[in-house]
Amino acid sequence: MHSSGQDRVLPIQSGPESRPLKRHHTPRYYAHRVKESLTTRVSKMICAIFLGLLFIVGFITFILWLSLRPHRPRFHIHEFSVPGLGQESGFENAQITVNASARNPNQNIGIRYDSMEGSVYYRDQKIGTKPLMHEPFSQEPKNTTVIDGTFSGATLTVSSQRWMEFTNDRARGMVVFRLELTSMIRFRVSSWESKRHRMHANCDVDVGPDGLILPGSKNRKCPVYFA
């Protein structure tokens, strides 16, 4: 059979390669981008200012800390005597007399003491204790306070056996004692005061056969620490 007409198959012609369409943004889009950029810049500026202020405050605080950093008080032992040590019957009237000093070495910081107690040790055993400064007292910068007292009677616990140990050491040329000074102290700048610190000053003392402090211990500096 013959068809009345021929079916034509038209070739599909591919056009030129398609190119990406160029997108046109609306004015609202550009306004949003500008607003977003300004917000980021403002945030960065605020952070930079904050960090700068923080650095300045920290630097000023560090300088003030260096200039106002409190130094612990300085203690020295000047006199320490056991008058009866050179006497055969010294035990009957046993006593120990001490004289020390506390100095505030700070330039601009005062020190406030809540009284002060003294204790005498022999071979790490406490043999006497008593208040040496009964009332609270203050020290202005670069000021020295004298601390003295006598341990005897109820404030000095020395048995006959202990006294014998003293005399045995005396025969060898030296008796070693330790004076401990304790107090609660606060540092003060103008009207501001620090919290209380429990302070200990330990003064090692060498006493000669005559019962007097040896030259090597006289005016010796006493280590200070806080509990």
Domain boundaries, the chain: 23-69, 74-226
What is the distance between the alpha carbons of residues 137 and 139, in angstroms, rounded to a whole number? 7
How many residues does this entry show for the chain?
A: 227
Mean pLDDT of the 120-133 span: 96
Lowest mean pLDDT: which of 26-35, 130-139, 178-187? 26-35
- Give the pLDDT of residue 205: 98
- Beta carbons of 163 and 150 less than 8 angstroms apart: no
pLDDT tens per residue across span 127-143: 999 999 999 999 999 99
- Give the pLDDT of residue 19: 58
> At residue 35, does pLDDT exceed 50?
yes
pLDDT tens per residue across span 188-207: 988 888 899 999 999 999 99
Strands 175-189 and 197-207: antiparallel
Mean residue pLDDT across the chain: 85
- Token couple for 105: 């070495």
Fold of 74-226: Immunoglobulin-like (2.60.40)
| List of residues 6+ apart from 115 with CB closer than 8 A | 131, 133, 134, 135, 136, 183
Residue 100: name the closest of 222, 210, 209 by CA: 222
CB atoms within 10 A of CB 109: 21
What's the burial of 202, exposed, middle or buried (CB within 10 Å: 0-12/13-18/19+)? middle
Q: What is the pTM of this model?
A: 0.71
- Beta carbons of 78 and 101 less than 8 angstroms apart: yes
What's the burial of 117, exposed, middle or buried (CB within 10 Å: 0-12/13-18/19+)? middle
| List of residues 6+ apart from 205 with CB closer than 8 A | 77, 80, 176, 177, 178, 179, 213, 217, 220
The single-letter code of the amino acid at 204 is D
